[in-house]
Amino acid sequence: MKPSKDALRIDEESPEARIALAAELLSGRDGVVVLGGSIALRPGPKEILCEVVEPAGTAHRCAEEYKVLIENAKRRLEASRLWAHLPPKRLRWVVVEDHAGGSQQVWPAF
């Protein structure tokens, strides 16, 4: 997965115009939106890939812990101002580990 250094970063303090721009990016197929520094949203033609950034490394996580990370991230997205502006696309959730060269999916494993 490509790095998200050029992503549009938003949070709850972002102006409404920036939230609208994020929704516009997610309606298309290009661009990445990072919500609160911990969820990267990557649009596709029929879905939005929701990447939960692994906060502490993956050495000792089990499947249940990854599920909890995703559930908590879903709640953050649903509670955000962006939620009401999301396009009607399926959300696919994964956990990624951030590296200098980009991110790598760690759960579910390929």
Q: Comparing C-alpha atoms, which of 37, 76, 80, 34 is closest to residue 55?
A: 37
Q: Which of 17, 28, 76 is nearest to 50 (CA)?
A: 76
For residue 57, count other CB atoms closer than 10 A to its CB: 9
Give the per-residue pLDDT at 3: 47
**Which DSSP state fits 3?**
-
3-state secondary structure of 2: coil
Q: What is the pLDDT along the chain (110 residues), one digit of tens a residue?
A: 454 668 999 999 999 999 999 999 999 988 999 999 999 999 999 999 999 998 666 567 888 999 999 999 999 999 999 999 999 999 999 999 877 667 788 888 65
User: pTM for this structure?
Assistant: 0.88
What pLDDT was estimated at residue 58? 58
